[in-house]
């Protein structure tokens, strides 16, 4: 499940992608409907990884650290929430054996969870901030199964 922190991060990054110049933390918080102090902490995390850059002072603000086409939803979510996988035994970035696992090779859950992880990663890695700004989400919703 996507955390509220990741939702705020995604919303803020989309707002930065929409903007040609800098945006202040206050403006971003309003546009992303996020608490300002919480969003500033998120932006600091994103800045440490080069996804945003900031400028302090009276005329300061935030802007994207790379082109919107180069920043995927998967990258943002991983930075904020960690691995995309539902369990650690199917994670490509943070693999570890599950605590209650008796045998990785014969685990009845692992194959389905690996497929879910791969499908999720394929969508989120293939969807950039530029796609979100262009409004490419409508066809994704049309193709999604009901329920």
Q: Cβ contacts of residue 136 below 8 Å, gap of 6+?
A: 127
Q: What b/e readout covers 114-135, taking b as 16+ CB neighbours within 10 angstroms?
A: beebeeebeebeebbbbbbbee
Q: What is the rounded average pLDDT of the residues 12-28?
A: 91
Do residue 106 and residue 137 come from a single domain? yes
Domain presence at residue 147: no
User: Would you place residue 138 in the very low, low, confident or very high pLDDT band (cuts 50, 70, 90)?
Assistant: very low
Mean pLDDT of 39-54: 95
Residues 46 and 88 in one domain: no
* Alpha carbon distance 40, 110 (integer Å): 37
User: 40-49, 58-67, 72-81: which range is least confident on average?
Assistant: 58-67
Integer CA distances (angstroms), 27 to 3, 12, 91, 94, 120, in order: 22, 10, 36, 35, 31
Beta bridge partners of 6: none
Residue matched to tokens 């969807």: 127
Q: How many domains does the chain have?
A: 2
Q: What domain range includes position 50?
A: 4-64
pLDDT value at 56 more than 80: yes
Question: What's the CATH code of the domain at 47?
Answer: 1.10.10.10
pTM equals: 0.83
């Amino acid at each position: 499940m996507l955390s509220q922190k990741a939702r705020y991060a995604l919303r803020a990054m989309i707002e930065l992608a929409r903007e040609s110049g800098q945006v202040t933390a206050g403006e971003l918080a309003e546009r992303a409907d996020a608490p300002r102090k919480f969003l500033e902490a998120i932006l600091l995390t994103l800045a440490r990884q080069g996804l945003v850059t900031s400028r302090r002072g009276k005329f300061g603000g935030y802007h994207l650290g790379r082109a919107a086409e180069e920043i995927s939803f998967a990258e943002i979510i991983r930075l904020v929430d960690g691995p995309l996988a539902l369990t650690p035994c199917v994670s490509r970035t943070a693999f570890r054996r599950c605590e209650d696992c008796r045998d990785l090779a014969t685990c009845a859950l692992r194959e389905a969870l690996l497929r879910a992880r791969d499908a999720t990663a394929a969508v989120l890695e293939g969807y950039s901030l530029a796609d979100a700004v262009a409004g490419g989400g409508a066809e994704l919703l049309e193709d999604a199964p009901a329920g």
